[in-house]
Amino acid sequence: MLFISCFALWPTLGHTEIVALQPFMFFYANEPRALGLGLPESFEHAANFSDPVSLSTDRSELGLAYHFENILHDKDTKLSGQQLAATGVLNFNLPYAGATTAGLHLGNIESNYCTSNPDEYTVAQRADAQTISVAMRPYAFLSAGAGVERIDSNNNFFFGVETGIPGWLKLKYREFQQHVDLSAAVIVDSNEGRFRVKTDDNVRELTLNAAVKSFFSLTLVAELNRDNNRAVDVNIAPSEKLKVAYRFAEHQYSFQDSIMFGGSPQGRIGGTAAAEGRTLLLQYQYSNTVALVSAAKQGRYQFDASGQADGTQLFDFWDALVIGERKFSANYAIETTQYALGIEVRNTPAVTLRGGLQYIRLNTRGEFDHWIPIPILGFGKFDAQAIPLPYTGATLAGLSFGVSYQVGAVDVSYALSQLIPLSQRKVADGQATEDKPKVDTGRVSGDLWDGIKNNPGGNLHLLTITWKL
């Protein structure tokens, strides 16, 4: 089973710095307008409560968000995840401190992958996060903020400072912690094997933002202590009707932890997980009530791990192995190319409808190798075995729908996206083949509908409620 397929290395719905187990975040933005349009990224950036100086100073508001991924649900396998977040932003003025913004976030994340019997195989992530932050703007050219985030039983302190020329140039420095916590377990004949990936990285981040009124903006983000983590954000509005945005992001995470057999340490695992994405977004305001959007994105996701396992309990768990200290390496990668088209229609001042269509192509590769070092010498390979990834890729379609209803100061938004497998490519006995879902008709609509019926799951739901105070 591919561990890389379970990672999505982006900030979560809770607006914290938790790296979440969210496979659908490969393909969709976690924001109701963008999800309803089927976009891989959002034109608007979500609030980040561990970055207090970035919180909006325009208004105070309360929010509630629920995110549910029904990835796969059949008689053999279940894969799903959910998140719940409550947020609040309050703006006021204090003597000497100037404009002050206080932010509060309460969130819960829970993701599970398991076979029909959860005592056989499971990958899980659970986390509770509470964040409180305060930012002050004593001068137009200076902002500073700090806060504390409690993730499970760990308290993380963060702060940020921003200065520059208002409306033209800003420079921001902040420090925070990035949290990863993922566990996996396999149980065979009452023998349990388990490993946990858990890390809290201290991050020092520098952001430069340059803007020319509403026509152009450029944002560069770099982590000073991790060279491979950076982002570029470009926004251009050549006219009142046309918006163009380009996003680039590259993230890499390192981990190291114990492998457990029978409840006791029996080895070590370590490695890296990385993600890279390039996205182009276009929006054209066709009329006062209709907007058209399109997007193209290329992504790459890589998981590399190695380690060793030993002890007699390993062989109780996997009796086909030759006894001896066993080393292993795992390398998996997913490359994605996707295109999206969407439309937004504002029927009345209170109701906005959205819809979108996506085409997604995946290329995958990977292999799990394990062996015994030659006794006495300590190097070389004995009883080497390789388990290649049988699938080399897939083609998917996506259908999205969204609706927003605004009454007074309250906005309720719901978005749904359904992924539909069109084909999958695999290698069996050295031969490459391409399988397509069984269909009852030759029409495209029939292909899509049969793809949904024959592949239960594959849908993502997002509900948000916002009350502007």
Mean pLDDT value across residues 281-301: 95
> Which pair of tokens denotes residue 232?
């570029």
CATH number of the structural domain spanning residue 137: 2.40.160
Which two structure tokens, joined as six digits, stand for 110? 């829970």
pLDDT beyond 60 at 217: yes
Single-letter amino acid, residue 161: V
Comparison of pLDDT for 205 and 386, the residue scoring more: 205
- Determine the pLDDT at residue 22: 65
Instruction: Place 309 in a pLDDT band, splitting at 50, 70 and 90.
Output: confident
Whether residue 253 is predicted with pLDDT greater than 70 in this model: the reply is yes
Total domain count for the chain?
Answer: 1
What value does the mean pLDDT take over residues 119-147? Answer: 81
pLDDT digits 0-9 by tens, 404-431: 999 999 999 999 999 888 888 887 665 6
Read off the pLDDT of residues 391-405 as tens digits, 9 standing for 90 and up. Answer: 888 899 999 999 999
The range of the structural domain enclosing residue 438 comes to: 4-468
pLDDT at 58 > cutoff 80: no
For Cα atoms 194, 200, 205, give the angle at the middle one, nearest 5 degrees.
145
pLDDT for residue 112 is more than 80: no
Give the pLDDT band of residue 5 (cuts 50, 70, 90): very low
The whole-angstrom distance between residue 436's C-alpha and the CA centroid of its chain comes to 28
pLDDT at 207: 96
Query: Does position 197 have pLDDT exceeding 70, yes or no?
Result: no
At 4, is the pLDDT very low, low, confident or very high (cuts 50, 70, 90)?
A: very low
Q: Which pLDDT score, from 0 to 100, does residue 263 have?
A: 66
Please report the pLDDT score of residue 7 as a whole number: 35
Instruction: Tell me what the mean pLDDT of segment 298-306 comes to.
Output: 90
Asked if 155 contacts 148 with a C-beta cutoff of 8 angstroms, the reply is yes
Instruction: Assign 464 a pLDDT band (cuts: 50, 70, 90).
Output: very high
User: Which of the two residues, 129 and 231, has the higher pLDDT score?
Assistant: 231
pLDDT band at 303 (very low <50, low <70, confident <90, very high): confident
- Average pLDDT rounded to a whole number, residues 328-337: 91
Q: What is the mean pLDDT of residues 105-116?
A: 69
Taking only the tens place, the pLDDT of each residue in 148-158 is: 988 777 788 99
Tell me the mean pLDDT in the region 193-208. Answer: 79
- Residue of 316 and 370 predicted with greater confidence: 370
d(CA 18, CA 250) in angstroms, rounded, equals 16
For the cut 80, the answer to whether the pLDDT of residue 120 exceeds it is no
Residue 121 has pLDDT above 80, yes or no: no
Say which amino acid occupies 378: G
Would you give the DSSP letter of residue 376? Answer: T
Pairing assessment for the beta strands 77-94 and 98-115 based on DSSP bridges: antiparallel
As a whole number, mean pLDDT of residues 300-309 equals 87
Q: Which residues contact 80 (CB under 8 A, 6 or more apart)?
A: 68, 69, 70, 71, 72, 73, 111, 112, 457
430-442: pLDDT as tens digits: 565 666 654 444 3
pLDDT at 6: 34
More confident: 21 or 213: 213
Percent of the chain with pLDDT over 70: 74
Residue 211 has pLDDT above 70, yes or no: yes
Angstrom distance (rounded) from CA 36 to CA 461: 10
pLDDT of residue 13 exceeding 80? no
Rounded to 5 degrees, what are φ and ψ at 316?
A: -65, -35
Q: Tell me the average pLDDT across 88-106.
A: 90
Nearest partner of 272 among 227, 228, 306, 304, judged by Cα = 304
Confidence of residue 468 (pLDDT cuts 50, 70, 90): very high
Res 8: pLDDT = 35
Residue 444: helix, strand or coil by DSSP? helix
Share of the chain residues as helix, strand and coil, in percent rounded to the nearest 5: 5, 65, 25
* Average pLDDT score over the chain: 80
Average pLDDT over residues 68-89: 78
Residue 82 has pLDDT above 70, yes or no: yes
CA pair distance 403, 411, nearest whole angstrom: 11
Query: Which pLDDT score is estimated for 283?
Result: 97
pLDDT, tens digit (0-9, with 9 covering 90-100), for 355-408: 999 999 999 988 888 888 876 655 667 778 888 888 888 899 999 999 999 999
- Please give the share of the chain, as a percent, with pLDDT higher than 90: 39
Least confident residue range of 181-195, 311-325, 413-427: 311-325
